[in-house]
Amino acid sequence: MRIKATIKVTFKAMRAQWKQLLLVYAIFPLLLSLVMGYFQKDTFRPEVSLDKINLTIVDEDKSKSSQGFKELFQAEGIKDLFNISEKGDYVITIPKGYEDNLINLKDMDIKVDEKKRVSRTNEAIVRIIINQYGESLTESLIISNKINEMTLKDKEKLFNEVTNSINSLGAKSALKTNIIQGERTLSSFENQAASMMSYMLFMMIMGCVGGYHLDKENGSFKRLMSTPITKETFFNLDLLIFFLSSFIYGLIYVATFRIAGLAFKGTNPMNIIAILAAQSLLVTSLAGLMIAFLGKQNSNIIIILSMYFEIIFGGAFIPIKDITNKVFALLTRFAPGNVLTQAYKNCILFNSFQSIIKYLSIMILISIGAYAISILKVKIKWEE
């Protein structure tokens, strides 16, 4: 009955303040994101051109087959993505006996050595091209061995067709597939929506803590504490109000951006709900920790300081990707809302539960720890 009454009171209070809620959690962040996103849109615009991957090819076999392999990187459509030089970032070594192994259909290894860590994506592209070229070439040789009975003219015709197919379709298609899969990036508005939620997180905590202290000041707290109810139960009922309120606030925020078409388009609703639930648990537990240990003034100081830190280093108001200062870049790693921001970004980018489960787990673990500490404090001494 107490839980049911608490839920009714919470929703009744929200209905009475619906204009203020829409202003704070819908209109204000939407307008701010539109302005910030507009001025930052060039920063988050996908690149229209790719830097070439620098390669050095060492040919220890010096055969026709190894020469054909080197010509692969000069093929139309491929040469625009690679630069062959003596000082490449990746050294590809064609071992001696390469052609003999090809003819006899034996296993062989073409070594790819990275001089220094440049890009995991580039390394993967190089290896994929080599692997698929080798597989395609081996398949063509197997087929050729099986059709030895054909006339010389037919053999030459077939060989030319297979070689052209390998060079123009096999490696080129494999390369395009892997590049396209890595091109999904956040727009400036999607980045704003994900990053600003961490700022709104502190707004929610401030609202929860402020509502608790308002009840104390108007006498509602004392009247409730005078009833036959334990401190732990009363504290948990407060946390229930915090959870319901923060969940609805977050839902309003996400729905606003989705309806406006700026972010969260096409994302799985269940993934969004999972993040909102974990986020609400985090708000609830942190707000509970503050009302268990701190007074109104100290709570406000901590929340405001955290909010300012998030504004400066959280990425919503200052694009982190443009910052070159090492100290500033280091401090961005400690922005308190990073976990929540990354959860929303991964949800938008990958739209899978697996991509957000790490961040959900972190938020839940923090919530459990904060609740355990605060409820222990309430049991020992609270509001006496």
pLDDT of residue 128: 77
Q: CA-CA distances (angstroms) from residue 8 to 2, 4, 11, 227, 372?
A: 10, 6, 5, 19, 27
In the three-class reduction of DSSP (H, G, I as helix; E, B as strand; rest coil), residue 107 is classed as coil
User: Cβ distance 96 to 149 under 8 Å?
Assistant: no
**179-188 CB contacts, 8 Å cutoff, 24+ apart:** 179/50, 179/125, 182/121, 183/46, 184/349, 185/44, 185/46, 185/349, 186/44, 186/345, 186/348, 186/349, 187/37, 187/41, 187/44, 187/263, 188/36, 188/37, 188/38, 188/40, 188/41, 188/43, 188/44, 188/45
**Tell me: the pLDDT tens digits for 223-258?**
555 566 788 888 898 899 899 999 999 999 999 999
Model confidence band, residue 325 (pLDDT cutoffs 50, 70, 90):
confident
pLDDT of residue 215: 77
- CA angle, 221 then 226 then 228, to 5°: 120
Instruction: Indicate the domain borders of the chain.
Output: 2-44+185-380, 53-181
**Tell me: the pLDDT tens digits for 30-87?**
998 888 888 777 666 554 445 678 888 888 888 887 787 788 777 776 777 788 887 7
Closest residue by Cα to residue 216 from 301, 294, 302, 283:
294
Residue 161 has pLDDT above 60, yes or no: yes
d(CA 296, CA 13): 21
Model confidence band, residue 100 (pLDDT cutoffs 50, 70, 90):
confident
Mean pLDDT comparison of 84-88, 161-165, 168-172, 362-366, highest-scoring range: 362-366
In the three-class reduction of DSSP (H, G, I as helix; E, B as strand; rest coil), residue 295 is classed as coil
**Tell me: the pLDDT tens digits for 202-214?**
999 999 998 888 8
**Tell me: the pLDDT tens digits for 275-318?**
999 999 999 999 999 999 988 899 999 999 998 888 888 776 77
pLDDT of residue 221: 56
Q: Do the strands 90-94 and 111-114 form a parallel or antiparallel pair, or are they unpaired?
A: antiparallel
**What is the pTM assigned to this prediction?**
0.64
